[in-house]
Amino acid sequence: MVALRKFKTLIDLLAYFKDEQVCRDYLELIRWNGKIVCPYKECKHDHVFKYTDGKRYKCAKCQHQFSVKVGTIFEDSKISLQKWFAAIYLITSHKKGISSLQLHRDLGVTQKTAWFMLHRVRHTLMISPAEKLTGIIEADETFIGGKESNKHKSKQTTGTQGRSAKTKTPVLGIIERGGELRAIKVISTQGYSLRPFIVNNVEFGSQVHTDEWHGYRGLSRIFKHKFINHGDGEYSKDGVHTNTIEGFWSLLKRGVIGIYHSMSDKHLQKYIDEFVFRYNTRGMSENFRFDRMLNNINSHLTYKQLCLKK
């Protein structure tokens, strides 16, 4: 991964990226590292000419002209790269996230534009894991959604106590002690929904800690499964606990309650990816996190795709 500049504050970032050409040059270096490649999927040729204006390129094979934005989250955007870079810095550095209303005020764009920018950035934050988690793994599930007691009586749904998914969406998380976190939206908290994600993301023979929920039964066939009984008031016993993953749930819910207020089920996984990205990069400096995100921008999301009804 290419890391170029050290930004301790947003002021430092804006002072360096003083105009569009500086932004384009930085993006070119961090994207191609001196070896420009045609961004079109059917081509990917590496013999490319650069125009003297510093803005455009031309592929010697397919003859297409393109800019450094093509094939990235910045493609077809009329927003300046300077504002995009400021948005990325704010989104990746704010511990509990930033709302579209706040971003629109900070950048001087409309709320609708800020919302689209946020989703384009989230679109890049789900990084496919290369290796399985190992060592001591904590697994736990939570529910995202508003409390029925906060709703008007005419809009309340009965029978939603406990683990009911009638009005809430279950989310499963696993974390390696002292290492990486992974989380995913699931259809239920039954074993058939929980176990496959754990099996696919945890190394065989690892030690898995959970609570007493019956959805985790059967893990002992593959892992060293240990659990604590929250129903009996147990929260840590002989090093067995789920406190680490529960700490992440607290952070996620603080973001829901204090920043976003609500998350649609359609986009929930993207919000989860945003919080997972920040959690997994919590030990990085602000500029390294910024560069890591820029190294993963080679995907394009249109407004039509974002709003497409499923």
Residue 156 lies in a domain: no
**CA 191 to CA 196: how far, in whole Å?**
8
- Same domain for 85 and 184, yes or no, is no
Share of the chain above pLDDT 70, in %: 91
**Residue 149 pLDDT class (50, 70, 90 cuts):** low
Tell me, yes or no, whether 242 and 176 share the same domain.
Answer: yes
Asked whether residue 112 is assigned to any structural domain, the reply reads yes
Residues 142 and 112 grouped into a single domain: no
pLDDT at 223 over 90: yes
Same domain (yes/no): 211, 297: no
Higher pLDDT, 91 or 148: 91
Residue where a domain terminates, one of 227, 242, 263: 263
Tell me the per-residue pLDDT of 169-216, one tens digit each, with 9 for 90 and over.
Answer: 999 999 999 999 999 999 999 999 999 999 999 999 999 999 999 999
Domain assignment present for residue 42? The answer is: no
Sign of the torsion angle spanned by Cα atoms 279, 284, 286, 290:
negative
Same-domain pairing of 142 and 169: yes
In the prediction, which pLDDT does 263 show? 85
Q: Is the pLDDT of residue 163 over 60?
A: no
The per-residue pLDDT for 159 is 58
Expressed in angstroms, the distance from the first to the final Cα of the chain is: 35
Cβ atoms 7, 89 nearer than 8 A: yes
64-81 pLDDT per residue, tens: 999 999 999 999 899 999
- Based on the structure, what is the number of domains in the chain? 2
How many whole angstroms separate alpha carbon 222 and alpha carbon 117? 42
In whole angstroms, what is the distance from residue 131 CA to residue 139 CA?
17
Range of the domain at 287: 1-9+75-125+267-310
Question: Do 239 and 300 fall into the same domain?
Answer: no
Residue 57 within any structural domain of the chain = no
Residue 166 has pLDDT above 80, yes or no: no
Residue 53 placed within a domain: no
40 inside domain? no
What is the arithmetic mean of pLDDT over 35-61?
90
User: 101: pLDDT confidence band, cut at 50, 70 and 90?
Assistant: very high
Domain for residue 67, yes or no?
no
**Contact status, residue 144 vs residue 263, Cβ threshold 8 Å:** yes
